[in-house]
Amino acid sequence: MDYKSLSVEELVKKCAKNSDPIAWDEFDRRFKRLIAGAIIGVCRQCSVRPSDVIEDLLQEIYVKLFADNCSLLIRFAPRHENAFIGYLRSTAASVAWDYVRALHAVKRDVANTVGLSEAVHQVRSGYGDPDAVEMTLFFDEVDRLLRQRNGAAKEKERTIFWLHYRQGYTAKEIAAIPAFTLEIKGVESVIHRLTCFVRRSLVFEPHIRAATGK
Amino acid sequence: MYNGHLSIEQIESLSQQESQSSRQQNTDDWSHVESCDHCRSLVEKCRIVDARLGQLASAQLRQESNMNCPDQKTWFEVAAGALPDEKSLQYLEHAATCDSCGAKLKTAVRTIDAALTSDDELLLDKLSNKIEPTQVPLKERKLPPDDKKPLLFFQFWKPIAYAVTALSVFGIIGWGSLSVYQAHESRVAKELLAAEYSKWRPTEYRLADLPYGPPRSQLGAAQKRYIHISGHDPSYRAAAALLKLDSFSAIAILENARNSGDTSKSVLEDLVVAYAVEYGKTGSDQYLRSALQLANEIIEKYPNDSVGYFNRALIYTNRNCPDCAQKARADFEQVVRLEHDSNWVREVQNRLH
């Protein structure tokens, strides 16, 4: 059988149903670099040298896929196009993440540390600081304006706006998130349009209302 | 201009111009702003809004409780597109205004979207060609011990103790009958394989502990034979896999056995054959190198083993090194000296002539 001509979903089904090594060879050929890419990404985020762990992690991910007669593959039900690619990448990243975190935890006695989010939360709580109060009021005001907008994609656009301005994401990073289905230009356009909307709502509309007496 | 003032677009444009050079491009507009309090005030307000938006990412805002925030695994799924878009958008909406989740999502996006450098590409090229999924899982080898395990043990010590006692009793009773059954099963498997193998052998190479069988090419018979082996002996299971020309499975079975500590002569000899056959199927030189390395180990360990010399001679025949033909001949001559079965001796003598 020519496995090279199969679609991703068909190949996954073949691999899940039988242990034909040629099917797995094809699986390996198509997806090894993708899995390795996710592992390298995690290593880079955690300052670990990929060469130290990549072979072990690749092995670990394949073992997971093979476990319980390929139950992970058998149970996988594609809900949208490219679902399996996403599934494989996220699984690879999760396995690598858990592994690297476990390594770090052993090195630095995790019992004596405070979670980063908790520490940041303590430092950034901002209660009582006049600047923080002012910024919070500004944030609430802008968020209220964005929620009042009309349009089919207003929630999606509000999310993009806050990912950019509140969380500091670049347009490239936002465009990389598949659920938005936007190119970088598309993201930049959304941010520009909403920035103009906020500016006009906060600066020009009060003037217009004052001038017209409404 | 409207009513003697600048338009909204003009004011917005001016509010984003800072440098002297850009000011020189709109000299009329700037001279109006300098003389008009209304327009100047609007330009300033626009700048304040833009500045505040720019400061939000580093601002200290009130944070909602993050007790129900999704874990990192979920953010990997969102970043990789593993979830349906509607579900992902719900999570993204949360991440947009939650600092903790915003940071986790950013990590996930940068991880999934990481571009490979030339060093990474080199590393990927160096990875072995095929992953053997049957090796011992990493968890069992490398991950640090889980601190919670002793606690769990003490929590459930009673049921564990009962289970261990019951298992011991059943084990003692079952062990005797199992040993008898396994011996019988093993004998049946060997007879079955020997019968098939003596008709003709599936490859030129020689498997361990099996009688002589003429090579397949001599008979021109159908390629694959399927026999069911129910025993647990890795050599027999691998031999059955090789009878159907499934060298990949044979390698997996035998490597698994080797990793579990079974380095018996039969396992190693069959592994040499499995690697050599896999080389014949894939053309990948690394399999032939593995086969040769193992054959060397066997001969070093068992210097009177004719099977090891026979297989190594064939490996040398398949290699393109300057003195390979000479080495193959020397090994075949050793087989003639050591082998007691006249069929094997005759086949080797034919090869030597």
B79 near B108, Cβ under 8 Å? yes
CATH number at residue A48: 1.10.1740.10
Whether residues A142 and A93 share a domain: the answer is no
Whether residues A104 and A202 share a domain: the answer is no
pLDDT of residue B240 exceeding 90, the answer is no
Determine, yes or no, domain membership for A35.
yes
Q: Which of A62, A87, A110 is the last residue of a domain?
A: A110
Whether residues A103 and A148 share a domain: the answer is no
Torsion over CA: A64, A70, A75, A79 (sign): positive
> Rounded to 5 degrees, what are φ and ψ at A206?
-60, -40
Q: Which of A59, A87, A110 is the last residue of a domain?
A: A110
Q: Within its chain, how far is the Cα of A17 from the centroid?
A: 31
Instruction: Compare all CA atoms of chain B with the CA of A65 and give the residue at the minimum distance.
Output: B133
Among candidate residues B37, B208, B39, the one with its CA nearest the CA of residue B26: B39
Torsion over CA: A43, A48, A54, A56 (sign): negative
- Render pLDDT for B191-213 as a digit per residue (tens, 0 to 9): 778 887 777 788 889 988 888 88
pLDDT bin (cut points 50, 70, 90) of residue B78 is: very high
Q: Domain-by-domain residue ranges, chain B?
A: 8-51, 72-119, 163-352
- State ipTM: 0.84
Alpha carbons B255 and B262: distance in angstroms, whole number:
9
Q: What pLDDT, on a 0 to 100 scale, did the predictor assign at position B136?
A: 37
pLDDT of residue B83 exceeding 50, the answer is yes
Among candidate residues B96, B208, B131, B339, the one with its CA nearest the CA of residue A32: B131
Amino acid at A126: G
Average pLDDT over residues A111-127: 53
Q: Which residues pair with B2 in a beta bridge?
A: B5
Whether residues A132 and A102 share a domain: the answer is no
Alpha carbons B152 and B168: distance in angstroms, whole number:
22
B44 touches chain A (CB under 8 A): no
What length is written for chain B? 353
B121 touches chain A (CB under 8 A): no
Whether residues A106 and A132 share a domain: the answer is no
Comparing A138 with B230, the larger pLDDT belongs to A138
CB contact under 8 A, B109 and A56: no
Q: Write out the CATH class of domain B163-352.
A: mainly alpha
Determine, yes or no, domain membership for A115.
no
Min Cα separation B87/chain A (Å): 9
* Cα→Cα distances B304→B81, B277, B292, B309, Å: 60, 24, 17, 9
Among candidate residues B85, B105, B83, the one with its CA nearest the CA of residue B94: B105
pLDDT of residue B317 exceeding 50, the answer is yes
- Render pLDDT for B1-39 as a digit per residue (tens, 0 to 9): 556 777 888 888 888 776 555 666 677 777 788 888 888
pLDDT of residue A22 exceeding 70, the answer is yes
Lowest mean pLDDT among A205-214, B133-142, B279-288: B133-142
Q: The domain containing residue A161 runs over which residues?
A: 124-209
Classified as helix, coil or strand, B331 is helix
What DSSP string describes A97-149?
HHHHHHHHHHHTTGGG---HHHHHHHHT--TT-HHHHHHHHHHHHHHHHHHH-
Alpha carbons B21 and A145: distance in angstroms, whole number:
35
Buried b (16+ CB within 10 A) or exposed e, B169-204: eeeeeeeeeeeeeeeebbeebbebbeebbeebbbbb
- Name every chain A residue with its beta carbon within 8 A of the beta carbon of B59: 126, 131-132, 135, 139
Min Cα separation B160/chain A (Å): 24
B43 touches chain A (CB under 8 A): no
Q: Angle at the Cα of B101 (from B99 to B102), degrees rounded to 5?
A: 60
Residues 6+ apart with CB under 8 A from B335: B306, B309, B310, B313, B344, B345, B348
CB contact under 8 A, B62 and A136: yes
pLDDT of residue A163 exceeding 60, the answer is yes
Whether residues A136 and A177 share a domain: the answer is yes
Determine, yes or no, domain membership for A214.
no
**Can you state the angle between helices A130-148 and A184-199, rounded to 10 degrees?**
110
Residue with tokens 């640090």: B144
Residue B65 CB neighbour total at 10 angstroms: 8
| Tally of domains within chain A | 2
Q: Within its chain, how far is the Cα of B244 from the centroid?
A: 25
Residue B168 CB neighbour total at 10 angstroms: 10
CATH number at residue A182: 1.10.10
Determine, yes or no, domain membership for A24.
yes
Among candidate residues A210, A179, A24, the one with its CA nearest the CA of residue A86: A179
Q: What pLDDT, on a 0 to 100 scale, did the predictor assign at position B224?
A: 59
What DSSP string describes B78-103?
HHHT-S-HHHHHHHHHHHHH-HHHHH
Average pLDDT over residues B65-73: 77
Q: What is the mean pLDDT of chain A?
A: 81
Q: What pLDDT, on a 0 to 100 scale, did the predictor assign at position B134?
A: 45
Lowest mean pLDDT among A102-116, A124-138, B155-169, B189-203: A102-116
CB contact under 8 A, B76 and A25: no
CB contact under 8 A, A120 and B52: no
Widest pairwise Cα distance in chain B: 115
- Name every chain B residue with its beta carbon within 8 A of the beta carbon of A82: 81
Whether residues A143 and A104 share a domain: the answer is no
pLDDT bin (cut points 50, 70, 90) of residue B219 is: very low
